[in-house]
Amino acid sequence: MSHLDRIVIDPEVVHGRPVIRGTRMRVSDVLALLAAGADEAEILEDYPYLSGEDVTACLEYAAAQVDHTILIAS
């Protein structure tokens, strides 16, 4: 089951960067926290308006962004 419906891009919210629906929390902020070693429980404790599904959605969004076809012109 996809959680990507939790991620939205709105030019009126944080300059159009991907955020978790209904918040101003950027996907990149959640990913930076995870990369710095925070686990899901820590993130949810520090940001009680987020859910575990939101954290999963951020990871799913990031994975989708790096999994794209690369065309090489010859």
Q: What is the mean pLDDT of residues 58-72?
A: 89
Residue 68 has pLDDT above 80, yes or no: no
**On the CB side of 4, how many CA atoms lie within 13 Å of its CA?**
8
pLDDT of residue 71: 79
Residue 8: give its domain's CATH number.
Answer: 1.10.10.10
Can you give the three-state secondary structure of the chain, one letter per residue? CCCHHHEECCCCCHHHCCEECCCCCEHHHHHHHHHCCCCHHHHHHHCCCCCHHHHHHHHHHHHHHHCCCCCCCC
Domain for residue 28, yes or no? yes
Q: What is the mean pLDDT of residues 9-15?
A: 96
pLDDT of residue 19: 98
Query: What total of structural domains would you count in the chain?
Result: 1
Domain for residue 31, yes or no? yes
pLDDT of residue 69: 76
Per residue in 23-62, pLDDT tens? 999 999 999 999 999 999 999 999 999 999 999 999 999 9
Domain for residue 59, yes or no? yes
Token digits of residue 41: 């429980």
Domain for residue 71, yes or no? no
Domain for residue 73, yes or no? no
Range of the domain at 44: 4-66
Domain for residue 74, yes or no? no
